[in-house]
Amino acid sequence: MTESLHTTTTDSAAGNGRPELRKALQDIVDSGVMGVQLRVHDERGRWVGSAGVSELGGTAEPPTDGHFRIGSNTKTFTATLVLQLVAEGRIGLDTPVADCLPEFALDRRITVRMLLQHTSGVFNHTGEYEADGTIVPGIPSTIAGKEWVDKRFHTYRDEELVRLSLSRPARFEPGSGWSYSNTNYVLARLLVEKVTGRSCAEETRRRILEPLGLSGTVVPGTSPEVPAPHARAYYRYEDAGREETVDVTCHNPSWISAGGDMISTTEDLHTFISALASGRLLPAPLLAEMRTPHAASGFGLGLRVQEVGDGGETVLFHNGGHSGHAALMYSTPDGRRTLTAALNYVDDAALSLAEAFQKTQERLVEAVFGGR
């Protein structure tokens, strides 16, 4: 696959030109994010750049071709696999998941669609936030502080994560509400494996990575490594009254599984979201299903839909982040204009950079897709 799915007319590969993008990157760093790398493809060409630092105490900027954990962007890859199986007639979008995964004794009202749209009501195995801000814990995740740090190399099996979730009360009756649950996508991964008889990692490579030439994208399984080059990721926590900060670039991502375990680059995410949006991975009717937002949440099936400001554009996107790495992935519906970005930062149980992350999204999206 070539650098871009569409011909470009200019190439600011070193991050020169486009002063509005360079300023946006600096504003992000000034907000408290350690480092950021950005890639934009549009009618003006390709622009890549970075700002901030690659590691604490260092001076080098993050590599513009660096690898990073893409967090919940993993869900878009998984949803695409599931919908490809729907297109092949191997499963139905409104089929009870229990028909394919009888070993979990799931509520038969939970359908494949509900997993992809987070309307199943299944408890989130990484923990749930109540309306009053209290946390109902699941496994030790990045909202657990020192407990996650101590267990960050532990291996969890997907079946273990699902059974933990199902041991907790459902959030609501299937289909009657909306609640973001990483466990929905663990179930979706198991569904892919049951239907195909192959691992989800193998199916991802066979159906998406190899056809699109995504050589920088990895489904890591239990491997703790991030391929070089990469910026470092950190986590801050309390230990016996002392504040500690530890490098968590390497950890076993089986705790998050298909909720967010994949690794990629801004170039690969550009290629993927552009191919998906432009119809290269799914037939039109299923792509339309993917793009149809739930009324209460704006989530479609592994994608979200957003209108950008006054006079701006409709964009398809998914974002994600955990343990000091985060990723942004946006495209116009025709796949011709994309924004992909990666952040490296100091994470913590309190999600202290959540506001900065939100402003990062808004700043970059407005710069690329806002009214012209």
Active-site amino acid positions: 72
* Residue, of 372 and 63, whose pLDDT is higher: 63
- pTM of the shown model: 0.94
Q: Output b/e per residue, 148-176; b: 16+ Cβ within 10 A.
A: bbebbeeebebeebbebbbeeebbeebee
pLDDT digits (tens, 9 = 90+) for 143-188: 999 999 999 999 999 999 999 999 999 999 999 999 999 999 999 9
Residue pair 1/304 in contact (Cβ under 8 Å)? The answer is: no
Buried b (16+ CB within 10 A) or exposed e, 123-144: bbbbbbeeeeeeeeebbbbbbb
Measured in degrees and rounded to the nearest 5, phi and psi for residue 348 equal -160, 170
| Residues 6 or more apart whose Cβ sits within 8 Å of residue 302 | 75, 76, 78, 79, 80, 83, 116, 290, 318
| pLDDT surpassing 80 at residue 15 | no
Structure tokens at 178: 């909306």
Which residue bears the tokens 């749930």?
128
Confidence of residue 31 (pLDDT cuts 50, 70, 90): very high
Q: Is the pLDDT of residue 372 over 90?
A: no
Cis peptide before 293 (omega within 30 of 0): no
Percent of the chain surpassing pLDDT 70: 95
pLDDT over threshold 90, residue 193: yes
Q: What is the mean pLDDT of the chain?
A: 93
- pLDDT tens per residue across span 83-103: 999 999 999 999 999 999 999
